[in-house]
């Protein structure tokens, strides 16, 4: 089975649609959404409706911190708060209800899906490096953890002597997640990449081969950025799409 | 031979164990056959018992990651693998001999040393182009196929630049084989493909002299001696080793990777063209460094670890072998000038490139013997001189360029053969014209473009567009 893993869509319709089309042509069997469907971008309703339609057909989705903040506002950066306040005005009841019912974590076979980390999914702590990665890996019994939240793709694993190895994945090159080890993949962001590459990021996990393929998908950045400007959202939110940072 | 409770006749993953070939420190090797029939294979089964050396486990994992990603004649073909419950790898059974089996006959004739070195360098270049550095080149990890190619085996310590480096994450000590490990590996850098050239230098030294240049130290402290103590020049041990071979071996053994060949391909090139090697002080070295020099190096080596920034693909990209196919016939001067301009542009961006200047001396189909005589030799030498004259304005350092006059009835075929046999990365060739006759008969450059194993740049003269068709041909 080939599983598409998409995280941090952030209401970027163009990036999301490009990744879904890419996954479709790659012959993906299953979709997993790792949270943060809204915030920053100009198409929150479309993003939620699309995720919802996939979930109705068997996909799974977990809650992200921006999704949670739609119902329960939380302190964030100024531009994020402005975007969320705007987003609340764009969502209908059923879209809010969908977000409110999302679980914080889902376990499926040997895999854990969670937005931020495994040790306290509702506290939204970031996995910035090996220390947090180790903390997260030790907080679950699943062999494989998949999360997002950081917007920079990274792959961690526990070595035989319980040290944490870190690796920056190369796009398009499948990495075997050896069965003897435990792995934590931090997915890049579909809708707001921050590793200096503006192309949308997602990944495909092949369960038979146990390998993980990080991917980058070019999309219509100009259109997505234009909508953010047209919505009157902070200019930094459109600029960073163009910079990928 | 007993190995881990495994027995002949036992079945693992659809293969029957037929014979235990070898039991090493990290794994056992079995000749196996598939239950459904087919040729004999080799199965590698790691020593994974509780309490075993963790290096055995990690090195097996490294092979599990890297082997499915390697292709080509210079690595064993992976047939099948087993996972966690039943870890094993099944490879093709290589028809040929193990290089280690030649160690009983040391020292080997220098021509054989150069031939073996050339095969291994070619295999390494193929490996490096696949983003992998072997990091444990030694006679026991090299096989030679019956068809002559070297096959590199045992990738347990290797580094794939696009995959996590499990070895470096697990072990914070230098990892390698004491006699062969490179200075970079001792300084914790596992990302430089030239580390494999150092090990190949040790191997060639050993084959040529019967002695290991740095002995066979057991402890890391002993391994580090090579950072400051240079080896005895091979010609001091065996005086029939030619200066050019000593030059190559000692260049491989340079402590500073930058002083070695830039790529395995460039070393393979030199081993194929000994006459074209520029000899330096290394070739005639008759003694080891003075104690003062050694003491200075010792002091510098003890001062900590230099930082390296180097990856396999980066190093290969900046050190291509560029072939300029130069037409020296009458009337081709403007084109030769255009060719030189293009070559200059390429060499300016790739500082470690090697330029092979090639001219084909076209033979008549019948009179082959003519070139055996004095007249033929003279023509050859004249062409060589003309080729050097062509290259002179480029002002290249002697070691960056070589000159070759090929004699053939088929210029395009000769250029293509040369490119294939010398690991050429880029051919630069002139197109003489666009006449209708040429279009019908096919030109040399068109055939080179069509059949070349590498990138080809076709050069035209700047004014070609403005010339009438007949004049341009």
**Cα angle value B165/B166/B170 (rounded, 5°):** 125
Give me the mean pLDDT over the B176-202 stretch.
Answer: 94
Asked if B425 contacts B269 with a C-beta cutoff of 8 angstroms, the reply is: no
Total domains in the fold of chain A: 1
Which pLDDT score, from 0 to 100, does residue B170 have? 81
Using one digit for the tens of pLDDT, what is the confidence trace for B77-89? 999 988 756 789 9
More confident residue, B91 or B461: B91
Q: Which of B420, B452, B457 has its CA nearest to residue B265?
A: B420
Q: Which residues contact B20 (CB under 8 A, 6 or more apart)?
A: B1, B3, B6, B8, B28, B29, B30
- In chain B, where does the domain assigned CATH 3.40.50.620 lie? 320-472
Contact A117, A71 (CB under 8 A): no
Q: Topology of domain B320-472, per CATH?
A: Rossmann fold (3.40.50)
Q: CATH code at A183?
A: 3.60.21.10
B436 has pLDDT over 80 = no
| pLDDT-wise least confident of A42-56, A211-225, B223-237 | B223-237
Asked if the ipTM is above 0.85, the reply is no
Chain B partners within 8 Å of A165 (Cβ): 164-166, 169-170
- Of A193-207, B32-46, B435-449, which one has max mean pLDDT? A193-207
- pLDDT average, residue stretch B49-54: 63
User: pLDDT of B256-304, one tens digit each?
Assistant: 999 999 999 999 999 999 998 999 999 999 988 888 888 888 887 776 6
Enumerate chain A positions whose Cβ falls within 8 A of a Cβ in B. 155, 157, 159-161, 163, 165, 167, 170, 173, 175-176, 178-181
- For tokens 């006449």, the residue is B435
Classify strands B401-408 and B354-362 as parallel, antiparallel or unpaired. Answer: parallel
Ranges of CATH 1.10.510.10 domains, chain B: 97-312
Size of interface A-B (CB pairs under 8 A): 43
Q: Which domain holds residue A32?
A: 2-243
Average pLDDT over residues B240-247: 96
Alpha helices in B11-156 (DSSP H): 54-66, 110-128
Q: Is B396 exposed, middle or buried (0-12, 13-18, 19+ CB in 10 A)?
A: middle
Taking alpha carbons only, the member of A163, A174, A151, A153 closest to residue A245 is: A151
- The answer to whether A42 and A33 have CB atoms below 8 angstroms apart is no
Say which residue the tokens 């190995």 belong to.
B3
Q: What share of chain B is helix, strand, coil (3-state, %, to 5)?
A: 45, 20, 40
pLDDT 10s digits, A82-135? 999 999 999 999 999 999 999 999 999 999 999 999 999 999 999 999 999 999
Residue B472: pLDDT over 50: no
Shortest CA distance to A85 belongs to which of A44, A118, A115?
Answer: A44
The pLDDT tens digits of the residues spanning A18-35 come to 999 999 999 999 999 999
- Whether residue B472 contacts residue B435, with contact meaning beta carbons closer than 8 Å, is answered with yes
* CA–CA gap between residue B247 and residue B331 (Å, rounded): 41
Q: How far is A130 from chain B (nearest CA, A)?
A: 12
For the segment B119-134, the average pLDDT, to the nearest whole number, is 97
Q: What angle do CA B360, B363, B366 make, to 5 degrees?
A: 160
Distance CA B404, CA B394 (A): 17
Interface test with B, best of A143, A156, A169, A173 (most B CBs within 10 A): A173
Evaluate whether the domain defined by B11-92 bears CATH number 1.10.10.10: no
Question: Under an 8 A CB cutoff, do A165 and B169 touch?
Answer: yes
- Look-up of token digits 């080509």: B72
Chain A residues near residue B169 by CB distance under 8 angstroms? 159, 163, 165
Q: Is the peptide bond between B454 and the residue preceding it cis, with omega within 30 degrees of 0?
A: no
Query: How near does any CA of chain A get to the CA of B58, in Å?
Result: 8
On the question of pLDDT at B441 being above 70, the answer is no
Residue contact A160–B58, C-beta within 8 A: yes
Work out the mean pLDDT of chain B and round it to a whole number: 88
Q: What is the pTM of this model?
A: 0.86
Q: Which residues is A143 bridged to in the sheet?
A: none
In this complex, do B164 and A155 lie within 8 Å of one another by their Cβ atoms?
A: yes
Distance from CA of A185 to the nearest CA of B (A): 13
* B330 neighbors B213 (Cβ within 8 angstroms): no
Backbone angles phi, psi at B154, to 5 degrees: 60, 85
Q: Indicate yes or no: CB of A179 within 8 angstroms of CB of B83.
A: yes
Q: Which residue do the tokens 């070739």 mark?
A: B283
| pLDDT confidence bin for B1, thresholds 50/70/90 | very low
Average pLDDT of the residues of chain A? 95
Confidence of residue B471 (pLDDT cuts 50, 70, 90): very low
Q: How far apart are CA B321 and CA B252, in angstroms?
A: 18
Check pLDDT > 70 for residue B467.
no
Choose among B414, B439, B440, B410: nearest CA to B427: B414
pLDDT (average), residues B312-325: 90
Assess whether pLDDT exceeds 70 at residue B125: yes
A155 burial (CB, 10 Å; 0-12 / 13-18 / 19+) is buried
Are β-strands A30-33 and A60-61 bridged in parallel, bridged antiparallel, or unpaired?
A: parallel
Residue A156 phi/psi, 5-degree rounding, is -115, 155
Cβ neighbours for B204, distance < 8 A, ≥ 6 positions apart: B113, B114, B116, B117, B245, B248, B249, B252
- List helix spans (H) across B289-401: 291-301, 312-317, 333-349, 374-391
Instruction: Write the CB contacts of A100 (distance below 8 Å, at least 6 apart in sequence).
Output: A70, A71
Averaged pLDDT, A188-215: 96
> Which of B310, B309, B299, B249 has the alpha carbon at shortest distance from B274?
B249
pLDDT surpassing 60 at residue B366: no
Q: Region A215-226: what's the mean pLDDT?
A: 96
Amino acid B368: pLDDT: 53
pLDDT tens digits, A135-169: 999 999 999 999 999 999 999 999 877 889 999 99
Asked whether the predicted pLDDT for residue B2 surpasses 50, the reply is no
Is B65 in Cβ contact with A178 (below 8 Å)? Answer: yes
User: Is the pLDDT assigned to residue B340 strictly greater than 90?
Assistant: yes
Specify the pLDDT at position B374. 67
Phi, psi of B275, deg, nearest 5: -65, -20
Q: Is the pLDDT of residue B440 over 60?
A: no
Whole-number Å distance between alpha carbons of B108 and B240: 11
Category of B454 on φ-ψ map: left (φ > 0), alpha (ψ -120 to 50) or beta: beta
For residues B189-212, give the mean pLDDT. Answer: 96
Positions of CATH 3.30.200.20 in chain B: 11-92
Residues of A in contact with B58 (CB under 8 A): 159-160
Strand A60-61 and strand A111-114: the pairing is unpaired
| Alpha-carbon span B462 to B446, nearest angstrom | 19
Report the C-alpha gap between B163 and B201 in whole angstroms. Answer: 27
The yes-or-no verdict on residue B114 having pLDDT over 90 is yes
From B65, B163, B169, residue closest to A159, measured CB to CB = B169
Q: Is B65 on the interface with A (CB under 8 A)?
A: yes
pLDDT over threshold 50, residue A71: yes
Say which range, A124-138, B168-182, B339-353, B372-386, has the weakest mean pLDDT: B372-386
More confident residue, B120 or B293: B120
Q: Rounded to the nearest 5°, which phi and psi values hold at B376?
A: -60, -45
Residue B5 vs residues A116, B13, B30: alpha-carbon distances, Å = 46, 16, 13
B83 reaches A (C-beta below 8 A): yes
State the average pLDDT over residues A2-19: 98
Tell me the CATH number of domain B97-312, given options 1.10.1740.10, 3.30.70.260, 2.140.10.30, 1.10.510.10.
Answer: 1.10.510.10
Say if B170 is an interface residue toward chain A (CB within 8 Å): yes
Q: Please determine, for residue B6, whether its predicted confidence score (pLDDT) is greater than 90.
A: no
Cα B270 vs. chain centroid, distance in angstroms?
10
Percent of chain A with pLDDT over 90: 91
Query: Do the chains contact at B57 and A160, CB–CB below 8 Å?
Result: yes
């Amino acid at each position: 089975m080939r599983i598409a893993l998409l995280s941090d869509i952030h209401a970027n319709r163009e990036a999301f649609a490009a990744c879904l089309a890419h996954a479709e042509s790659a012959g993906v069997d299953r979709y997993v959404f790792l949270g943060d469907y809204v915030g920053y971008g100009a198409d929150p309703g479309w993003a939620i409706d699309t995720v919802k339609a996939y979930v109705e057909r068997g996909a799974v989705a977990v809650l992200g911190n921006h999704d949670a903040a739609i119902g329960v506002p939380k302190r964030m950066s100024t531009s994020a708060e402005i975007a969320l306040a705007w987003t609340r005005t764009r969502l209908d009841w059923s879209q809010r209800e969908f977000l409110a019912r999302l679980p914080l974590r889902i376990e499926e076979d040997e895999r854990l899906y969670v937005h931020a980390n495994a040790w306290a999914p509702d506290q939204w702590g970031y996995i910035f490096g090996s220390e947090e990665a180790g903390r997260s890996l030790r907080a679950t019994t699943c062999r494989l953890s998949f999360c997002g939240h950081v917007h920079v793709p990274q792959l961690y694993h526990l070595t035989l002597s319980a040290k944490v190895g870190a690796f920056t994945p190369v796009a398009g090159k499948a990495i075997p997640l050896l069965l003897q080890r435990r792995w934590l993949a931090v997915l890049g962001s579909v809708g707001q990449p921050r590793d200096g590459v503006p192309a949308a990021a997602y990944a495909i996990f092949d369960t038979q081969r146990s390998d993980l393929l990080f991917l980058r998908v070019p999309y219509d950045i100009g259109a997505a950025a234009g909508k953010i400007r047209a919505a009157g959202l902070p200019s930094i939110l459109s600029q960073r799409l163009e910079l990928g940072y | 031979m007993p190995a881990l409770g495994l027995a002949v006749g036992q079945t693992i993953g659809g293969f029957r164990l037929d014979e235990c070939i070898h039991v090493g420190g990290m794994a056992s090797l079995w000749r196996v056959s598939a239950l459904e029939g087919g040729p004999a294979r080799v199965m590698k089964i790691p020593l994974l018992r509780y309490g075993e050396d963790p290096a055995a486990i990690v090195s097996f994992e490294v092979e599990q990651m890297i082997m499915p990603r390697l292709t080509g004649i210079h690595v064993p073909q992976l047939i099948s693998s087993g996972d966690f419950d039943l870890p094993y790898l099944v490879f093709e059974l290589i028809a040929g001999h193990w290089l280690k089996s030649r160690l009983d006959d040391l020292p080997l004739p220098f021509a054989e040393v150069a031939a073996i070195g050339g095969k291994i360098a070619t295999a390494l270049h193929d490996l490096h182009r696949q983003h992998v550095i072997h990091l444990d080149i030694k006679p026991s990890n090299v096989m030679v196929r019956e068809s002559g190619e070297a096959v590199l085996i045992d990738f347990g310590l290797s580094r794939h630049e696009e995959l996590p480096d499990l070895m470096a994450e697990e072990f914070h000590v230098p990892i390698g084989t004491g006699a062969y490990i490179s200075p970079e590996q001792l300084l914790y850098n596992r990302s430089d493909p030239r580390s494999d050239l150092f090990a190949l230098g040790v191997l060639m030294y050993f084959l040529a002299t019967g002695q290991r240049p740095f002995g066979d130290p057991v402890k890391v402290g002993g391994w580090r001696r090579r950072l400051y103590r240079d080896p005895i020049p091979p010609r001091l041990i065996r005086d029939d080793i030619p200066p050019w071979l000593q030059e190559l071996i000692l260049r491989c053994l340079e402590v500073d990777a930058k002083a070695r060949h830039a790529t395995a391909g460039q070393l393979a090139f030199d081993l194929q063209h000994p006459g074209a090697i520029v000899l330096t002080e290394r070739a005639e070295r008759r003694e080891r460094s003075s104690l003062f020099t050694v003491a200075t190096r010792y002091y510098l080596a003890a001062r900590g670890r230099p930082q390296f920034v180097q990856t396999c693909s980066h190093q290969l990209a900046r050190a291509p072998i560029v072939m300029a196919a130069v037409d020296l016939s009458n009337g081709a001067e403007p084109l030769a000038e255009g060719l030189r301009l293009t070559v200059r542009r390429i060499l300016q961006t790739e500082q470690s490139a090697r330029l092979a200047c090639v001219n084909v001396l076209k033979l008549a189909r019948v009179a082959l013997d003519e070139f055996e005589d004095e007249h033929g030799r003279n023509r050859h030498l004249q062409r060589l001189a003309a080729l050097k004259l062509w290259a002179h304005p480029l002002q290249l350092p002697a070691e960056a360029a070589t000159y070759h006059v090929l004699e053939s009835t088929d210029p395009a075929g000769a250029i293509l053969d040369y490119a294939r046999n010398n690991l050429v990365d880029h051919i630069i060739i002139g197109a003489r014209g666009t006449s209708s006759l040429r279009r019908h008969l096919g030109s040399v450059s068109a055939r080179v473009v069509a059949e070349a194993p590498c990138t080809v740049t076709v050069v035209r003269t700047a004014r070609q567009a403005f010339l009438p068709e007949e004049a341009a041909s």
